[in-house]
Structure 1
Amino acid sequence: MVVLFVGVVLTSHWMPLGIEKGFWRNLLLVAILIGGFQGFYFAVEHFYERIMRFFLAHKLVFLSIPGLIVLFGYMGWLGFGTLFGFVPRVAEKVGVRPEAVQQTGFWSAMTYRFPGLGKEFMPPLDEGSYLYMPTTMPHASIGEALDVIQKQDRAIRAIPEVDSVVGKIGRADTALDPAPVNMIETVITYKPEYITDKDGRRASFRYDKKRQAFVRDNGELIPDPRGKPFRQWREQIHTPDDIWKEIVDAAQVPGTTTAPKLQPIAARIVMLQSGMRAPMGVKVKGPDLESVEQGGIEIERFLKEVQSVEPAAVIADRIIGKPYLEIDIDREAIARYGMQIEDIQNVIEVAVGGVRLTTTVEGRKRFPVRVRYPRELRDQVETLERVLVTGMDGAQIPLTQLAEIRYVRGPEAVKSEDTFLIGYVLFDKKPGFAEVDVVEACQRYLDSKQATGELTLPPGVTYRFAGNYENQIHAQKTLAVILPLTLFIIFMLIYFQFRSVITTAIVFCTVFVCWGGGLTLIWLYGQGWFLDARILGVDLRELFQIHTVNMSIAIWVGFLALFGIASDDGVLVCTYLDQRFAEVKPSTITEIREATIYAGKRRVRACLMTTATTVLALLPVLTSTGRGSDIMLPMSLPSFGGMLAEVFVMFVAAVLYCWMQERKLSHRM
């Protein structure tokens, strides 16, 4: 009765299949999952003595199983080529060419199957909105840019899944916003897949099964706890990425660039860290703006050829190209009329820029009053040439006789960093690739092109990659200190418990087995065949959100949590083994094995309870959706995979302990 009550309560809160599948189908799935794990653990407990006797009689055969788990885990993490990279080097020393080894069918197949896990700083979070940041051409006027943003807003707002669209162009009157006039910022909020209540749960509405349609009252859905959730996305839209593709297709306007996929919060963080409006980019530095622009365009051309880079998202800054109206005053001409440069500049200021005369006060509002020529007298070079300047004798002299008026190309914005002028080349990755891997591939490709002479940068121009890539490098250096320190602390705590290096090493081996189990599960999540089945009409890959998971800070946080609980069963088993051997003092191999089996039988249930509670507690996390699930899934995978391998730990610890005692006995004899 207690198990049934817990199952009903868990189902009502968990609902792994969703509300639309009904309570009883969800309860059946929960019973299958929990019953399956519990049945497996009961079987292990029931047949523990037989299993242990077989393992003790065939120690090497058994120890090869956790050894393979560790090998597969590390091979999935680092990649076959990296883990066994020493083989071609050894072959070369014995006279075999490394290419002969690397071109064999076995090596190629294993390298393809185990390429290694991708690396990124953090998994992308679903903010429920996008930040679309394209740019117009530098020579586009404000009026043309406003027309572009209005067209884009109308096109994006027409997408059924979009809830609201707010576009901004230019910048506020503050030095804290360096956005140029041609940069568009559009915040797009999209509707959730299903209508939810105030607690974030899917709301149900009255549904007519005969008509296969929702019942409406004056066009409004009618809430009904026994109804069905209302899906707001079209059938062809399955993920937020599909919505982004619709946005990119709808927002294409001639004269504008595309934009990398950004979300408002993540984009602001990246912009504060690197100054770029993309998670990945190249900072090009040089002595002058022309060289920087030329170098950026060259890098842009080659980045589009990298396989893992989205070609349409590669955008280099067009620094030079903004049209400027330049008025070059002829000093000799104004001297003939007895005028000074200040006289000409005052006329130009009043005619074109305007002069602030006063300020009107309307309540709490203040408005400056400026005086200048009407637009039709200053919007073209020909009209400006006819602006009259009063000479010393009162004569009205056209400006064209006193100055040369012309258009010149110049920079729209001047950026500098580390005393160098700088420009950006922004790019984005294709789906299925990790950020760090993409940046490293781009770096290798550019280096190869420079080595062959295909990529030639102007003198004095250098480049470096920036963005989230830098965060990952910093985090990698930090983890290089934290992980060994954590493992050392765990080792010392275990040593203080047993006061034996050998026993401590036995327990510590269980940590690596669980580590291998976690890495193996992460690798399996990237395989298309893993859990490719259906239960109760539900795809298990969709239920457990199986997709490629890259190594990130979230993954390593999960491993740090795993390290803290991975040694529990080993400590539990070895503690009672010490007590049992101190009590019976076995003198033969048979007595040693019997003492090992006796101690294991007394502690197998406690070990299985530790493992089962962790595994069952993580099941709802693996099937969770909505806000926060993006980060919880990578954090829980190491612990879940490690605790699945924990079943071997109590056997590993006991077998190694028995082996150690047998070796001691053989030395005494």
Structure 2
Amino acid sequence: LKPKSEWVSAHSKDELADKIKAAIEKQIPNMEIEFTQPIEMRFNELISGSRSDVAIKVFGEDLDILAKKAHEIEKAIRNVEGASDIIIEKTEGLPQMFVQYDRSKIARYGLNIADLNEMIALGFAGKVVGNVFEGEKRFDMVIRLNQTNRTDIEDLRNLYVATPNGEQIPLRELANIEYTEGPAKISRDNTNRRIVVGINVRNRDLQSVVDDVKKIINSKIDLPPGYRVTYGGQFENLESAKARLLIAVPIALFLIFIMLHFAFGSIKEAMMVYTAIPLSAVGGVLFLWLRDLPFSISAGVGFIALFGIAVLNGIVLIEHFKELKHSGKFTDMNELILKGTTDRLRPVLLTAAAAALGFLPMAISSGAGAEVQRPLATVVIGGLITATLLTLIVLPILFKIYDEKEEKKLKFKNIKLTTHIIILFFGTAFSYGQEKNTELDSLVSNALNNNASIKSGQLQVDKAKAATKLAYDFSKTNVYYSYDQNNLAVNNLPLKVFGAQQSFSFPTVYGSQRKVYNAEYEKEQAGFEIQKNKLTNEISKVYYEIVYLNHQEKLYRYLDSLYQNFSKASNRRFELGETNYLEKITAEAKFRQIRTKLSQINKAKLAQLELLQSLVQLDKKIAVTLTELQPINNLSINSSKNLYYNYLETFTKKYKANESLQKQNWLPDINLEYFKGKNTGLSQSLYGFQVGLAVPILFNGNIAKSKVAKLESQAWEQQKKNEETKIDAYINQKNNEIIQFQQAIDYYNQYGKKVSDEIIKVANNSYKQGEIDFFQYILSLENATTIQVEYLDAVIQYNKTQLDLQYINF
């Protein structure tokens, strides 16, 4: 064929085949024509035994009935759209010479059928009668009739046969010989006879053609009992591939969901992203319909690839929504969604466009293999377009719906009173009544369960508890055998002695050892409680630092909006000539200064959140929602003070127990031995035992150890007094600091807040009436802001000092 670009009468291969077939049938009527390709034909034949796209197999026993039904089927489906090149397998019409013997005549002449068969085979096929040698080569000698005497049925009829009495009679006197038609071939599948009606499909998909053919055969073809119809060819491969897809697609969908769950750690978020799959399927089906392409195996594979690609946009969007939510910058969910969607619009569109453009050449291809490439690429491109557009609409809606449900659930679980006080401009209400902070309590609880250092401390406590059983650790038992010729029995023969020996410390030593191990266990327990106390203090400090930064951010955001409006107004007034350039640049500078401060606060908050994450050690990100900083009061220091005193007391117990144990070393060790001896001359064994005491005669070492233990105990008592004095001094210092910060807080509550509000009120009215200029107005705002910021600084320092005092961060 010429290149497709040079075709003038057809636009596709199927159209060209139809026109060639019409031209040939016009010249040669009733000719069976089949269009195929060599490789495709061979594969079809290997798969199902037929060279056609669809093989209608009719099974039965009688070849005549099979041929008849095959022609009925061919006639019935001739007008099915897309069914071209209908070919019936040739199973009959093979010309053959048929010899029917007359057995009575054969018997009359004294012949037999075997001799006649041999004569016919010899005349036409030949028979080996000997060998011919040429040197070392050997050849069979075959004789048969001459070429001119074996070309026609008359040659067979006139073949003379010798009778036993020497007569020669022609074969036509012994048999009826004529031309007949026999089976061209007998085909079988699984030992069952069958005939095939082959169909090549053009200008239509394979499945719909087979569906129409099935309807026609089921309604119009009446098969005798024992006869049946099956369908093979490429359609058989399609059916098996569809069966595999019914398994592969659910597995692929399940694995995608599992991967999403692993990525997010949440079934809710995985389900939200999973919605991209049905959204993408809509586009895949729609584009197949628009391009008039059938659903094929390549389209099914395209859907599997599409499902994996479509969820990428959802992952990008949901992750950014979560980041914005955890940042704490947005209190309005609508604002958060708009910001997140705007930020991720370009990445989402570029991700989908990159994948779609990659498949575009396959979608518009028209060369070899295009029938496989086009459905796959069309599905992916169409699915990505609809999935991307719908994801940007549906996913934010689902995120908001799930978030609202979560908030309602949390409100239902945590029933508590909340008061919302709105004060003009900087107004913020602070009170000394402190409610129980469930958010902080939850963080502390999670940290005590998840923090690795706490787990390590618990293991140290468990180790010390297990070590208490070492107090009753005995030395190894000595089992021995001895033979000494000097050790003679009453029969003057040496004894063979077997024995066991065990040494023990004095019984009271084990009690003293247990006291030492118990004291070590109590020390580890007390130290572990202090470790948890310190972790709680660190988490509380970081938490209130984040609340402090949240409150500061709230304050400066108001200033940011205020100065931004002033900056715009100054620019406008400068353009109108109502003010000078100095006012314009001053407003701009103050606006930039506030923006810089906000950025610094945000960075500091992120650092504190990372520190809090490292302390709590949760898998999910932590967010602090409290935005108003209040002084914390009514804290008790007695529990933490008792913790430290108990911890110091455990050291005293340990040193005392160790001193008592060293005194026990003066007591003797006890040795027990049991043995028996025997030799060949004794009728029974000789038994014996031995008890001994190990007395510390060389006692200089014991004296030194006892003295060291006593001095350690005395030294610790002095150190203990010093530590208790330092604790008391630390408490007094923190109390003084609390009084200092309390004075600053009292000043704000009594005077500072009123002054700040009054300054803002008067400055606003004066500036509007033109009594003060822009610089005086800015100075007034800065004075009011300084009062507010100093108050926040005093509150955070007050809270940190209260925490240090409560948990005695010593």
Counterpart of 1:290 in structure 2 is 64
Conserved? CA contact 2:360–2:377, under 8 Å: no
2:18 counterpart (238, 241, 245): 245
**Contact 1:306–1:445, Cα closer than 8 Å, also in 2:** no
Which residue in 2 is equivalent to 1:62? none
Q: Structure 1 residues 649 and 458, CA, compared in 2 at 3 Å: closer, same or farther? A: same
* TM-score when normalising by structure 1: 0.56
For residue 385 of structure 2, the aligned residue among 631, 637, 644 is 644
Matches within 5 A, 1:429-578: 429=201, 431-449=202-220, 455-526=221-292, 549-578=293-322
Query: How much has 1:551 moved relative to structure 2?
Result: 0.9
- Gaps of at least 5 residues in structure 1 are 1-189, 195-230, 450-454, 527-548
Mapping for residues 18-33 of structure 1, pairs under 5 Å = none
Quick one: which of 296, 305, 329 aligns to 2:101? 329
CA distance in 1, matches of 2:222, 2:296: 35
Q: Secondary structure at the match of 2:197?
A: strand
Distance change >3 Å, CA 358–CA 466, structure 1 → 2: farther
Paired residues for 1:197-216 under 5 Å: none
Higher helix share: 2
What's the CA shift string for 1:502-527, capped at 9, x where partnerless?
A: 2221111122212211221111112x
Distance in 2, matches of 1:301 and 1:482, equals: 39
**Greater Cα shift, 236-245 or 435-444:** 236-245
**CA displacement, residues 516-544 of structure 1 (integer Å, 9 cap, x when unaligned):** 11221111112xxxxxxxxxxxxxxxxxx
1: CA distance, partners of 2:372 / 2:256: 26
Greater shift, 273-282 or 646-655, is seen at: 646-655
Separation in structure 2 between the aligned mates of residue 360 and residue 654 of structure 1, nearest angstrom: 96
Contact 1:350 1:372 in 2 (8 A): yes
- Residue from 139, 144, 155 that aligns with 1:383: 155
Find the counterpart in structure 2 of residue 597 from structure 1. Answer: 338
* Shift of residue 280, structure 1, vs aligned partner: 0.9
Q: Percent identity?
A: 29
Change (3 A) 1:366 1:490: farther
RMSD (Å), alpha carbons? 3.1
Per the TM alignment, residue 359 of structure 1 is displaced from its structure 2 partner at its CA by 9.3
**Which secondary structure does the structure 2 equivalent of 1:409 belong to?**
strand
Rg (Cα) greater in structure: 2
Per the TM alignment, residue 325 of structure 1 is displaced from its structure 2 partner at its CA by: 1.0
| Residue of structure 1 in register with 2:376 after alignment | 635
Q: Matches of 1:598 and 1:457 in 2, distance apart?
A: 70
Judge conservation of contact 1:359–1:368 (CA < 8 Å) in 2.
yes
Please say if residues 517 and 641 of structure 1, whose CA atoms lie closer than 8 Å, have aligned partners that are also in contact: yes
Whether contact under 8 Å (1:257, 1:315) holds in the other structure is no
Find the aligned partners of 1:513 and 1:569 in 2 and give their Cα distance.
12
Q: 2:353 and 2:59 mapped to 1: Cα distance?
A: 57
1:400 shift after superposition? 1.3
Paired residues of 2:57 and 2:229 also in contact (CA < 8 A): yes
Deviation at 1:317, TM superposition (A): 3.8
Task: State the SS of the aligned residue for 2:93.
Answer: strand
Query: Are 1:615 and 2:356 an aligned pair?
Result: yes
Q: Secondary structure at the match of 1:320?
A: coil
The residue type equivalent to 2:262 in the other structure is: F
Counterparts of 2:33 and 2:90 in 1: how far apart (Å)?
Answer: 15
Question: 1:242 offset after TM fit, Å?
Answer: 4.2
Deviations 1:374-432 (A, max 9, x none): 44433333332222222223322111122221223321111222332211122333x33
Alpha-carbon separation, structure 2, partners of 1:436 and 1:351: 55
Alpha carbons of structure 1 residues 391 and 245: separation in structure 2 relative to 1, 3 Å: same
2:48/2:236 contact within 8 Å kept: no
| Closer/same/farther in 2, CA of residues 413 and 193 from structure 1, 3 Å limit | same
Q: How many equivalent pairs are there?
A: 408
Equivalent position amino acid for 2:151 in 1: D
The equivalences for 1:118-517 within 5 A come to 190-193=1-4, 231=6, 233=7, 235-245=8-18, 247-249=20-22, 252=25, 257-310=31-84, 313-355=85-127, 371-429=143-201, 431-449=202-220, 455-517=221-283
One-letter amino acid matched to 2:210: V
Q: Shift of residue 480 of structure 1?
A: 1.3
Asked if structure 2 preserves the Cα contact closer than 8 Å seen for 1:248 and 1:258, the reply is no
Shift of the alpha carbon at 1:611? 1.9
Partners in 2 of 1:632 and 1:278 — Cα distance?
A: 22
For 1:596 and 1:476, how far apart are their aligned partners in 2? 41
Q: Offset at 1:585? A: 7.1
Question: How big is each residue's C-alpha offset from its partner over 1:573-607, in whole Å with a ceiling of 9 and x where there is no partner?
Answer: 111211211221755xxx11112222223322222
Alignment partners' CA distance in 2, 1:512 and 1:424: 42
Alpha-carbon contact 1:291-1:461 (below 8 Å) kept: no
Q: Which amino acid aligns with 2:315?
A: V
Q: Is the 8 A contact 2:130 2:140 kept in 1?
A: yes
* Residues 295 and 461 in structure 1, CA contact (< 8 A), matched pair in contact too: no
Q: Comparing both chains, which one has the higher relative contact order based on Cα–Cα distances under 8 Å and sequence gaps of 6 or more?
A: 1
Q: For structure 2, which runs of at least 5 residues remain unmatched after alignment? A: 413-810
In 1: Cα distance, 2:206 partner to 2:349 partner: 39
Structure 1 contact 611–647 (Cα < 8 Å) conserved: no
Displacement of 1:625 in angstroms is: 3.9
Shift of 1:567: 0.9
Aligned equivalents of 1:339, 1:525: Cα separation in 2: 78
- The DSSP-based 3-state class of the residue aligned with 1:550 is coil
